[in-house]
Amino acid sequence: MTWADGSKRALRRDLLTMRSRLTADDVEETLAGFVRHALELPELGAARTVAAYVSVGSEPGTGALLDVLRERGVRVLLPVLLPDNDLDWAEYAGAEHLAEVAHPGKISLWEPTGPRLGPEAALTADTVLLPGLAVDGRGVRLGRGGGSYDRVLARLEIAGARPALVVLLYAHEVVERVPRDPHDRAVHAVVTPEGVRRFRPPEC
């Protein structure tokens, strides 16, 4: 898939339009595939701590995966969006401990209600599940443009943390090319309902 002007803005616009056309049934039908193939990744299946997120709307569904990880005894960290677009974190204690939070000028998010652990909590993660809109053959991820996860990835880099970076996407969102900025950090793998594609091994 290619775009006429090759800009991140054009990619985001078109991919968000395609996602908006997905029905609740479309999303539901992919859930089992996401869980099955995500757990095929040794880095996720063996992780003790996973930094993840709660999907909203037509995003690839994470709810079932979060529950499976928690049932397996994995410590799951979920983000809390701060006013400056940075992320705090709290542990996932089940869907009943999530609250819908309306952020002015942004989409509403489901966030954990437990004690805040601070932005540095992500440094403890063995694997980080990243939201995204696309990824290309180099592992370059296209986010929504808010910069929240760029900050998380920069914090990991500065601290010398080397978790596995994984993005969940629909198959059509694995694209030919995503424009890359100097600060963009490639992911290690993408999980789609159809399978896993690995781009590079996690750093040791």
The 10 Å Cβ neighbour count of residue 113 is 12
50 has binding-site annotation? no
105 has binding-site annotation? no
149 has binding-site annotation? yes
75 has binding-site annotation? no
147 has binding-site annotation? yes
CA distance 172 to 93: 32
10 has binding-site annotation? yes
The DSSP bridge pattern shows strands 109-112 and 98-101 to be antiparallel
Q: Which residue has the tokens 């040791």?
A: 204
Give me the residues paired with residue 77 across strands: 51, 91
Question: What percent of the chain stands above pLDDT 70?
Answer: 95
Instruction: Summarize pLDDT for 62-81 with one digit per residue, the tens.
Output: 999 999 999 999 999 999 99
33 has binding-site annotation? no
Instruction: Summarize pLDDT for 110-155 with one digit per residue, the tens.
Output: 999 999 999 999 999 999 999 999 999 999 999 888 889 999 999 9
Q: How confident is the model at residue 201 (pLDDT cuts 50, 70, 90)?
A: low
Show the domains of the chain with their CATH numbers.
8-198 (3.40.50.10420)
By the 8 A CB rule, do 51 and 125 touch? yes
The DSSP bridge pattern shows strands 75-81 and 87-91 to be antiparallel
116 has binding-site annotation? no
